[in-house]
Each structure stands twice: as C-alpha cells, then as structure tokens.
Amino acid sequence: MSDTVFGFDTNRVHAGYDPAEHNQAVSPPIYSTVAYDFRDVENAKALFSFSEAGFLYTRVGNPTVAVFEERVRILDGAAGAIALASGMAAISYTLLNLAEGGGRILVSPYLYGGSADSFKKIYPKLGIGIDFAKNILDPAKLAEEIRPDTKAIFVESISNPNAILIDVDAIAAVAHAHGIPLVVDNTVATPYLFNPIAHGADIVVYSATKGLSGHGNVIAGLVLESGNFDWKSEKFPQFSEKYYTLRTLDGVERTYLEAFPDAPFSFRIRLNYLNYFGASLSPFDAYLAIVGLETLSERLDKQSRTALTLASFLEGHQAVEWVRYAALTSSPSHARYQRDFKKGAGGILSFGFKGSEAQREKFLNAISLFHYHVNIGDTRSLIVNSPRTTHGELTPEEKALADIPENLIRISTGLEDPDDLIADLEQAFVTAFA
C-alpha cells in the first residue's frame, strides 16, 4: 500500500501487511523461526549483497517484526524504521550510531529517569559526552550550548513525568543551523498525537512498551529516520566509511550511504548494532505490538479525555498543590498544546501532593483501583511517586534541574470510567488526611 493513499486510522490497521503474501492470513502470522532457506545459491548471493530484499536470520530481520516496523514507519511518515527489544535499546543504539568514536549529545533535562541515569553513567565511559541543556525551553538561547563536537540534540516531545511539551519546530531549526540532527523520544505522544518528523525531527525513538502497544504486556522499541538529514557531513564520517560486508555482487565495497541511500541510519543500526549487540525484538512480541497498535487512536483519545478530567478535578482539590497537564489553561505548555496537539495531550499528568511524606505514602497505599507501578501507556490507570521510583536515580540537584519536586505524583490514565478513578483518588485523599 502507498504511504499516502490512506488515512492514519486505516494505516494503523492495514499498513505494511498484505494477506496474499502470508497464505491469506487476516492477522499477521508469528514467524517463529531462527533462519530462512535460500531458494538457491543465486538467492543467497543476492541477499548477502543487499541486491534483493529478504530474510536471513531473525536476529536482524523477521517477517512479523517487519510488519510492525513498516506499519509504524508509515504512520510516522519515516524513510526507515527498525524495531528493537526495548525502548532503552532504541535510545542506546541511536546515540551510539550518532556519536560513534566520540562526541557530545545535548539533551533535555526533562526526561524519563532511566534515560537520564544512563546518560550520566554509561555514555561518558564510552567516550560520548552528555550535556544537560539549560535552555531547552528557550530555543533562541539553546544554540549557545552547542559545542563543536556536539552530534545531536535529544528531547522528549511530551516529557515524563512533567508533561512538558517541547517546541520541536524551533529546536529542529537550531539543530539544523548547526548541522546536527534532532532526536525526539515520542513515546508518550505516539504518532497519533504528534508527528515529530512533520515538525522537523530527524530521528524518532519509541518505547513501544508504552502507548504504541498499550496493554502492558510487551517490551519493545523503535528507531525511525526522516530521510531528510545529510549524513555526508564531516561530523558523521562513519556513514561514509566503506565496508567489506556491504560489497556488491561484483565485490565493490560500499558505504551505508551508497548501499542504503534512503535509510542509512536505520540500516546502519540493523547491520552493526542490532547484528552484533543483538537486542532483537521477538516475533511474538512484535505480534502483540501489532495487535495493540490497531486500537491506538481509540485508546489515546480516551486516555487524553480522562487525563484532562482528572487534571481538572485535581486542580481544584484542597489536598493538591499544583497540577501539570498541557491541556489545562493554567499550564505553561498550553499554547503549544493548542498549536501542535490537536488530538489531545496524552494520558500522562502529574500533581503535587499537599501533605507530609507519611501522608503521601498513606495516600498511595490507600489507592485501590489505580495500579501502583512504574509503567505508562497501559489500558489500566497507573499511579506512582516518580521521585522515589521512576526518577529515583536522580540526585537532588538533578531533580531540581528536571523540576521534579519530592511531592510529585504521576498518573497514567487507562480506559476505566473517569468517575471511578476520581472516586478512588478522593477516598485515598480522605484516608491520607484522616
């Protein structure tokens, strides 16, 4: 199917799959196989020289996984996509692919705690410097923080847990003016609520564990590329390096730019990092993600409406100090929400609990309908004290930079009746302050 013939909701159900190619199976089959027979010697030669598309070994490619990749690629309007075993694998392979051999990444301070912790613990020891931006909300000043060896800017479109909306258009313009790509973690928004590539992003990463699959039953990640960035730049010599493994049938060595001109970034991840580091998404997990993707619009619509309902309830509650949700008119991100998020602000909100630590813990222990754990984007509504859990790795100074006070409680809305969720919150408040 063409990328542009059908609308979003048609593509989330049909894109990237033709039943005629799979024994007329209506639902994509689970190809539980390690390897694939060659038709003949010529077919093997063609596959290994990349002159023919096909599958060799499930670590680097599988028909079920390919359906998932292609479907999300089309939804995002991307030139290439690769699915991986987790969102963290998507982030790590992206940063390694960008800054291989050294360099720096300028990152937003408003990030998932695991991302922030890995940035300070892992990458500096691999020769990749991480700079937490002080002006991510002021793109006009952000350029001052870009160094000669900065290789990319990394942001979350909707931040976790603060639900801050980043001005992707403005930051993309800053990045491109300095010859570097913008990487957007679009996990919370999903392509349904926000399309980073349409706003200038060059690389998009997802933890498909969250909203994309949406049922809390699969760990998965994705990396997508826009196809618009010029990787021939001297900043990225790795893309112009010739490889023996990319040789033609005639034995001519090629670069990734020559072998895969439309999607060199994702193919380089596939054949270098996925191939040899091995964070492969299993066919069964890809199948679960495909099934979850089919209800993406309905889930995000309901979760966004419920989040606004809960945020409005909390904003007027005497036990709440503040509420962060972009769809509220009181939010600093509200203007950007009105400009860029026409379908909703997503299911993540946070609020400040007005009480002691003991009362806060009593409140969480009194919750009965919400699930108390660290995931987001589930069909079930979730609640957690982020400063002690999802962002517990951050020091007090890092929490201050990320604007995560100790009384922050994060909610990820599910598909329950909002009145039941409000009743659960209210009874927990009553219990906490009894």
Find the domain containing 73 and state its range: 8-292
Res 385 pLDDT > 80:
yes
Q: Measured between alpha carbons, how far is 201 from 395 in angstroms, rounded to an integer?
A: 30
With a CB cutoff of 8 Å and minimum separation 6, the contacts of 161 are 348, 350, 386, 390, 391, 404, 408, 410
Q: Other CB atoms closer than 10 Å to residue 218's CB: what's the count?
A: 20
Mean pLDDT, rounded, for 117-122: 94
Residue 139 in 3-state DSSP? helix
Residue 2 lies in a domain: no
pTM over 0.85: yes
Res 390 pLDDT > 70:
yes
β-pair type (408-412, 382-384): antiparallel
Q: Other CB atoms closer than 10 Å to residue 256's CB: what's the count?
A: 24
Instruction: Name the percent of the chain lying above pLDDT 90.
Output: 99
Residue 124 lies in a domain: yes
| Domain C-terminal end among 233, 257, 292 | 292
212 closest CA partner among 390, 379, 410: 379
Residue found under tokens 């969720």: 421
Predicted local distance difference test score (pLDDT) of residue 1:
47
- Which phi and psi angles does 349 have, rounded to 5°? -140, 160
Res 3 pLDDT > 80:
no
> What total of structural domains would you count in the chain?
2
- CATH code at position 424: 3.90.1150.10
DSSP track, 179-224: T--EEEE-TTTHHHH--GGGGT-SEEEEETTTTTT-SS----EEEE
Over residues 66-90, the pLDDT tens digits come to 999 999 999 999 999 999 999 999 9
Residues 186 and 40 in one domain: yes
Over residues 325-363, the pLDDT tens digits come to 999 999 999 999 999 999 999 999 999 999 999 999 999
Residue 1 lies in a domain: no
Residues 100 and 228 in one domain: yes
- CATH code at position 188: 3.40.640.10
Over residues 187-244, the pLDDT tens digits come to 999 999 999 999 999 999 999 999 999 999 999 999 999 999 999 999 999 999 999 9
Residue 130 in 3-state DSSP? strand
Residue 410 in 3-state DSSP? strand
Q: Other CB atoms closer than 10 Å to residue 184's CB: what's the count?
A: 30
Residues 245 and 354 in one domain: no
Residues 428 and 347 in one domain: yes
Over residues 288-323, the pLDDT tens digits come to 999 999 999 999 999 999 999 999 999 999 999 999
Q: What's the token pair of residue 295? A: 């209800």
DSSP track, 242-266: -BGGG--TT---B-HHHH-TT-HHH
| Domain C-terminal end among 257, 273, 292 | 292
Residues 317 and 230 in one domain: no
Give the residue ranges of DSSP H helices in 35-167: 41-48, 63-76, 87-99, 113-121, 139-142
Q: Measured between alpha carbons, how far is 343 from 301 in angstroms, rounded to an integer?
A: 7
Residues 315 and 268 in one domain: no
Give the residue ranges of DSSP H helices in 216-368: 256-259, 264-268, 275-277, 283-293, 296-315, 334-340, 357-366
β-pair type (128-132, 103-107): parallel
Predicted local distance difference test score (pLDDT) of residue 5:
81
Residues 235 and 339 in one domain: no
| Domain C-terminal end among 292, 321, 347 | 292
Residues 203 and 76 in one domain: yes
Predicted local distance difference test score (pLDDT) of residue 4:
56
Over residues 260-281, the pLDDT tens digits come to 999 999 999 999 999 999 999 9
